[in-house]
Amino acid sequence: MDVRLARRAAGDVRSVCRCARPGAAARWVTSLAVHLPECARSHSLMPADRTWARTGARFRTSSGAIMSLPPAYTSGAREMYCRNVYLRTGLTMPASGWVVDLGANTGLFSVWAAVTGAQVVAVEAQQGFDLEIRDLAAYNDVAERVHIEIAMASGVVASGATVGVVADDRLWAATSHGTPVRPAGLSVPQLMAAYRIDRVDLLKMDIEGGEFAVLDANEDLQWLEQVDQLALEIHQDFGDAALLVEQLRRSGFAIDLRDNDGAPVAADSELLAYAYCSRL
């Protein structure tokens, strides 16, 4: 096992033991020990995660909320709840108000926000995730607080279908839950108007390069002044990350930039993966 993977494994063992409920943590650590050679060969800890995919798991999140996941929903749980990639630098999950989740996928983040106490708008481009988000919300008894929009996250001017993974017909066709026809675009101002949202307490954005459409330099980004916190995954293959970060600074955010392992990086670093933004 290389040094970087060994460090990540050690960190994940600590975070799993801290955040997963005791039974789920014990199963994962045992699975890691059994599958350690496979993890070393694949440079991934995902072989250990397969135990949760068979049994399901429960987690105490950084907001104190308990998340319950059926077996089919555990992919990404270690990253989401144990490594806490979206809130790891001090951003907080609000206990009330509104959370907007751009790139909701199966709903792990959206349902966590609802369990904590917020109202949530879950925006997802892949149509097949609609039912999965609904089922997870119902499983955690928060269906009334999760509002699902099947749409392409877009800017007011720029379409989300023109930037990022979804702009590539071949990659879109290969998505696990997409249909041949992409959904319509939807901007954050449109969402705020539709749900009568005056203030977004937390905006999470993980849309595979589409962030460069939502935050395009030619957009009117005044709506960002109504956002208190922004957790942004940056996909550098699709735009100028340093320019995007500077736009967020001009919008009044203090910004903490990190790589995939959570180490601080500069805006021009090729390792930049996350921007954690809080209102000054």
Is the pTM higher than 0.85? The answer reads: yes
Kind of pairing between the strands at 119-124 and 146-150: parallel
Dihedral Cα 120, 126, 129, 131, nearest 10 deg:
90
DSSP annotation of 261 reads T
Kind of pairing between the strands at 146-150 and 202-205: unpaired
Taking only the tens of pLDDT, the chain with its 280 residues reads 567 767 777 889 999 999 999 999 999 999 999 998 998 888 888 999 999 999 999 999 999 999 999 999 999 999 999 999 999 999 999 999 999 999 999 999 999 999 999 999 999 999 999 999 999 999 999 999 999 999 999 999 888 888 998 888 888 888 999 988 899 999 999 999 999 999 999 999 999 999 999 999 888 899 999 999 999 999 999 999 999 999 999 999 999 999 998 999 999 999 999 999 999 8
Query: And the tokens for 197?
Result: 């949202």
Q: Which residues contact 86 (CB under 8 A, 6 or more apart)?
A: 80, 109, 204, 206, 231, 233, 274
Burial of 240 (0-12, 13-18, 19+ CB in 10 A): middle
Q: Identify the structural domains of the chain with CATH numbers, from first to last.
A: 1-83 (no CATH), 85-279 (3.40.50.150)
- Dist CA 169 CA 182 (whole Å): 10
